[in-house]
Amino acid sequence: MAGQDLTSLDDALTHILARARVLTQTCTLPLHQTLGRVLAADIAVPADVPPADNSAVDGYAVRASDLTDHTVLPVSGRVAAGEPPGELTPGTAVRIFTGSEIPAGADSVVMQERTQQQGDGITVTAAVDTGQNIRRQGQDLKQGDTALSAGTPIRPQEMGLLGSMGIGEVTVLRRLKVAVFSTGDELVDPGQPLQPGQIYNTNRFTLTGLLEAVGCEITRCDTLRDERDATRDSLLAAAEEADLIITSGGVSVGEEDHVRAVLEEKGELSLWRLAIKPGKPLAFGAIGGTPVLGLPGNPAAVLVTFLVAGLPYIRHCQGNRRYRPLGEPLAAGFTVDKPSVRREFLRARKEAGANGVVVEAYPNQSSGVLSSACWGDGLAVVPENTTVAPGDTIRYYSFSELLG
Ligand SMILES: Nc1nc2c(c(=O)[nH]1)N[C@H]1C(S)=C(S)[C@@H](COP(=O)(O)OP(=O)(O)OC[C@H]3O[C@@H](n4cnc5c(N)ncnc54)[C@H](O)[C@@H]3O)O[C@H]1N2
Ligand code: MOO
């Protein structure tokens, strides 16, 4: 606990993560559609990669022991990449290219820049170490080893590695299905005229963008009006089809909190005042057996609470065992002279200072100012009860690392 009836983010995360259910259903996809998915099973290497010794350079395959000073080696053959390599006749050289398989009997490759043409033959102008410029069979992957383990998120490099093994179809966990609700009678969708008292719905777009960026399937995306029966019906319907329901707004202390009332009546609910800023109110519960994450309504608080609380939960459900943003220690370029009992997540970015990289914070950190996050590239963390002077080391988490 963090004092002043505030709950620490770590305590809330422990509660939430203990209730996360890892997806078990899988689907098999063509390799080119697997970006961002998570491997459902270990991948055993079906055959060595590369499948045979091959040349790292354009040049000549030789037998090192054939080379003495000024020996002219006749060029007895040529192996282009993709051709079977054949054999090296002892005392000769075979013209070879980067990626060509090494002919039987050759033990080294001489780069063409280290040779001189002598009629139909070559001389070698530099010392040759046996084995040089040969990329060994299996140097990347050995048959039978585990190349990638279950729970690995598939990035472009994993797609390439799977391709290198000849794996054209991959079994991955299915997408996490998420229903998104914005709450509030004041919300109007962009494109409509704004009446007095109304504002445009912001969180809907932040949240659907975040969920798409982290590979979720959005099952519905609606606005809940401040009306109990409709809220109950919508939440129950969403619970039937989604793995997770995310709401924004209506978790503070106001009277129009029908999400809270419905969860208390039909499901379960834990409501915290978190010791973080922005993002004090946070709720987690369930309806119809489906978990519900209730984020605060303020737009910058939505972004921050999604990243620091929602995403660890989602990555866990997605079976992603690698998600652990570490951030980086950097010099602050800003000042915090009033310590807070809440851990602050300042919208910030790296900038080149006179003495190296510093982290600058957006001047207006109000949780209603989303421009802070568009100006920023990440979050600078100011620990509880701490002041910051320029040059102090703080931890910085880029948005791309947080979303990774
Ligand atoms: N008496 C107190 N008032 C407030 C407290 C408190 O502890 N005591 N906490 C403040 C903090 S911190 C936050 S954060 C907000 C959270 O309130 P709710 O989660 O209940 O959210 P709402 O009241 O529904 O909305 C807050 C704010 O955000 C705007 N909003 C909501 N949804 C959207 C949306 N989809 N797009 C754009 N903007 C949205 C809404 O109009 C409000 O301005 O409570 C503080 N108050
Ligand atoms: O915690 Mo609230 O999210 O500061 O505005």
Q: Where is 360: in which H helix or E strand? A: strand 356-361
CATH number, domain containing residue 88: 2.170.190.11
Do 150 and 277 belong to one domain? Answer: no
Chosen domain end from 261, 291, 317: 317
- Asked if residue 281 is part of any domain, the answer here is yes
User: What pLDDT sits at residue 253?
Assistant: 66
What is the distance in angstroms between the CA of the first residue and the CA of the last residue of the chain?
Answer: 29
- Asked if residue 323 is part of any domain, the answer here is no
Do 44 and 69 belong to one domain? Answer: no
- Asked if residue 303 is part of any domain, the answer here is yes
The domain of 160 spans: 26-49+142-173
Radius of gyration of the chain (CA): 30
Ligand 2 pocket, CB under 6 A: 277-280, 296, 298, 301, 367
Which has the closest alpha carbon to 310: 14, 8, 101, 16? 16
- Asked if residue 322 is part of any domain, the answer here is no
CATH number, domain containing residue 359: 2.40.340.10
Do 40 and 110 belong to one domain? Answer: no
- Asked if residue 4 is part of any domain, the answer here is no
- Asked if residue 3 is part of any domain, the answer here is no
Do 228 and 351 belong to one domain? Answer: no
- Asked if residue 227 is part of any domain, the answer here is yes
Which has the closest alpha carbon to 54: 118, 112, 123, 133? 133
CATH number, domain containing residue 34: 3.90.105.10
Do 204 and 303 belong to one domain? Answer: yes
Q: Which pair of tokens denotes residue 139?
A: 């140097």
Edge-to-edge, what's the strand order for the sheet holding 290-295? 217-224, 177-183, 244-248, 290-295, 281-287, 267-273
Do 196 and 294 belong to one domain? Answer: yes
Q: Does the predicted TM-score (pTM) go above 0.90?
A: no
User: What pLDDT sits at residue 256?
Assistant: 65
Do 379 and 247 belong to one domain? Answer: no
- Mutation choice for ligand 1 from 252, 303, 342, CB with most ligand atoms inside 8 A: 252
Q: Are the C-beta atoms of 1 and 11 separated by less than 8 Å? A: yes
Ligand 1: does its nearest atom lie under 6 Å from the Cβ of 199? yes
Ligand in nearest proximity to the CA of 276: 2
Do 366 and 344 belong to one domain? Answer: yes
Q: How many domains does the chain have?
A: 4
- Asked if residue 1 is part of any domain, the answer here is no
257 CA: nearest ligand 1 atom: 20
Do 150 and 107 belong to one domain? Answer: no
User: What pLDDT sits at residue 255?
Assistant: 63
Ligand 1: does its nearest atom lie under 6 Å from the Cβ of 296? yes
Do 363 and 299 belong to one domain? Answer: no
Amino acid at 293: L
pLDDT, tens digit only, all 404 positions of the chain: 445 689 999 999 999 999 999 999 999 999 999 999 999 999 999 999 999 999 999 999 999 999 987 789 999 999 998 899 999 999 999 999 999 999 999 999 999 999 999 999 999 999 999 999 999 999 999 999 999 999 999 999 999 999 999 999 999 999 999 999 999 999 999 999 999 999 999 999 999 999 999 999 999 999 999 888 999 999 999 999 999 999 999 877 666 678 888 888 888 888 889 999 999 999 999 999 999 999 999 999 999 999 999 999 999 999 888 899 999 999 999 999 999 999 999 999 999 988 899 999 999 999 999 999 999 999 999 999 999 999 999 999 999 999 98
User: What pLDDT sits at residue 259?
Assistant: 87
Question: Interface pTM (ipTM) of the complex?
Answer: 0.94
CATH number, domain containing residue 220: 3.40.980.10
Nearest CA to ligand 1 atom 32: 297
Residue with tokens 């065992």: 321
Chosen domain end from 317, 345, 371: 317
Q: How far is the CA of 249 from the centre of ligand 1 (A)?
A: 6
Do 45 and 160 belong to one domain? Answer: yes
User: What pLDDT sits at residue 226?
Assistant: 86
Ligand 1: does its nearest atom lie under 6 Å from the Cβ of 186? yes
Do 395 and 272 belong to one domain? Answer: no
DSSP symbol at 266: H
